[in-house]
């Protein structure tokens, strides 16, 4: 990445091309990670994912909604993504309420139609991550933090 102005475009591409992420939660002092299907909504500020109620991930999220999601790695074909580059979203997750459930479910299903049975299960719960900031690591010495507010006003090309 040549400049900080390139970072919002890079982040947008990473969000649009990364269909899966690694979710980090914590419960009783023990970290836990899980592979999740993600769907970005509201530009950079929110991510949708789903899980079953009978999982450690769900139990951890109910107790502590603070999460991190590793979105992409250096093995992809994202333009400008160098080997060893990763994007991590940090924020708070909450169960999606009834008023926004249908729109979130439809967006997630549109992006992941292969998950129709899982997403339609009565035991499946949809969560919304309110992203506060992103960390973009492009090598050991190049780490950039961007808050969602830093990304306000970015216009997609």
What is the tens place of the pLDDT at every residue in 144-153?
899 998 887 6
- Is the residue at 24 inside a domain? yes
Give the whole-angstrom CA distance, residue 121 versus residue 52.
Answer: 9
Give residue 63's domain range: 4-150
- Is the residue at 157 inside a domain? no
CATH of the domain at 42: 2.30.110.10
- Is the residue at 60 inside a domain? yes
- Is the residue at 77 inside a domain? yes
- Is the residue at 34 inside a domain? yes
Structural domain count, the chain: 1
Q: What pLDDT does residue 79 have?
A: 54
- Is the residue at 54 inside a domain? yes
Q: What pLDDT does residue 74 have?
A: 46
- Is the residue at 102 inside a domain? yes
Using CB atoms within 10 A of its CB, is residue 49 exposed (0-12), middle (13-18) or buried (19+)?
Answer: buried
Q: What pLDDT does residue 1 have?
A: 42
Which residues in the chain land under pLDDT 70?
1-5, 73-84, 153-157
- Is the residue at 29 inside a domain? yes
Q: What pLDDT does residue 134 have?
A: 94
Q: What pLDDT does residue 68 have?
A: 98
């Amino acid at each position: 990445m040549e400049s900080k102005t390139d970072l919002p475009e890079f982040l947008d591409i990473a969000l649009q091309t990364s269909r899966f992420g690694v979710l980090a939660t914590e419960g009783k002092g023990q970290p836990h990670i899980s592979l999740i299907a993600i769907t970005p909504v509201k530009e950079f500020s929110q991510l949708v994912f789903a899980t079953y109620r009978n999982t450690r991930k769900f139990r951890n999220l109910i107790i502590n909604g603070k999460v991190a999601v590793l979105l992409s790695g250096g093995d992809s074909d994202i333009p400008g993504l160098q080997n060893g580059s990763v994007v991590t979203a940090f924020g708070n997750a909450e169960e999606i309420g009834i008023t926004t459930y249908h729109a979130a479910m439809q967006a997630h299903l549109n992006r992941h139609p292969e998950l129709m049975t899982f997403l339609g299960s009565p035991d499946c719960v949809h969560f919304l991550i309110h992203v506060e900031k992103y960390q973009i690591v492009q090598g050991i010495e190049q780490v950039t933090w961007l808050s969602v507010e830093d990304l306000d006003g970015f216009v997609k090309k």
